[in-house]
Amino acid sequence: MASFAHGTPPESLPVGQGQGNPPGPNCQQLVQIAIAGLANENIDEVRTSINKLRNQASCPNIKSAIYPLENIMNDNFRDYLTRRLAVQALIAIAQALGLPQGKNAYDAVMKASRAFLIDTFADIDEVRDAIVSIKKLANNPAVLEMVEPLNQLLNNPSRYDCYTRGLSVAALVAIAREQGLPAGEPALDAVMSALVGDPLDALRAGAASALIDYRNPLPSVMAALEYAYLTDSSPLVHASAYRALVILTNGAYETFGISELSFAQGSLTPSRMPSASINCLSDELYRWVKDHVFIFNPSIKLEDFKCNP
């Protein structure tokens, strides 16, 4: 199986809206040359050819590159970097072609990603890369098959660390946003359950911040955020939920104060209550919170919550 792309590649696009360089007058010839270069024995030449195919993702004959790139992605005898570049190229092609033209590229990445999510012995970096790949292709309807394994990963703190579970939260939010309702509702429910019930304060705070990217102040989303804001004992969660409420209401929440949402009527019942006191942050967890959680209240000093300040 393949390893997947690190970094911050482009977000998913609506189906049918391509991405990448506009096709040049000689792009079809360049694609043919690059495909031939994938068989080169010189690894640097192979990587160069992969990058050329990624740059020509909008070329009319780019679909002919999908199968050879998939072979490289799934070749366990290939080195990590080369396989990772092949995944990046396939994602670029899928985004450029959209559906249905790019279906084979979508399917190749999704199939490999799912394999890592359900493999309990998979390397953690490969699991993380798979989640990132799923997030980038969240506009593909087939991504709905990833909601359940992502949710299982999210709810397995004994196996996966906060950073990996946080990536799963971000991917689930992207799926919910791109797929809309009712199709994306299970993904959204998984994030809201984590917001009000995960045992780790940093993950709950990360879920609150991630819901900002949902970009839709649905009553259920606002109720979950307000529940966290009003009842969670962690200042990290309190600050993150409040910021999300303010942003999703375009500042109205800050202006008018506590809203009368379903929380006030008792219709939101978490699966389990948050922990009574904040967990101390390990060095790795501290870095994750610092990168993923915006502390709205300046009086809250993140350093105070480190296990070894």
Q: Does residue 169 lie in a domain region?
A: no
Tens-place pLDDT, residues 120-130: 777 888 889 88
| 231 is a domain residue | no
Domain assignment of residue 26, yes or no: yes
Domain assignment of residue 304, yes or no? no
User: Is the model's pLDDT at 296 over the cut of 60?
Assistant: no
CA distances to 28, 82, 96, 165 from 56, in Å? 9, 18, 9, 34
Of 114 and 283, the structure prediction assigns the larger pLDDT to 114
> Does 57 score more than 50 pLDDT?
yes
Identify whether 215 is part of a domain.
no
Q: How many domains does the chain have?
A: 1
The residue ranking higher by pLDDT, 288 or 139, is: 139
- Which pair of structure tokens corresponds to residue 5? 């792309």
Nearest by Cα to 223 from 189, 186, 268, 185: 268
Q: What percent of the chain has pLDDT over 70?
A: 77
- Taking only the tens place, the pLDDT of each residue in 8-30 is 333 333 333 344 556 666 888 99
- Tell me whether residue 18 is in a domain: yes
Residue 88's domain comprises: 1-121
Domain presence at residue 208: no
DSSP track, 181-192: TTTTHHHHHHHH
Mean pLDDT of 258-281: 41
Please indicate, yes or no, if residue 16 is contained in any of the structural domains: yes
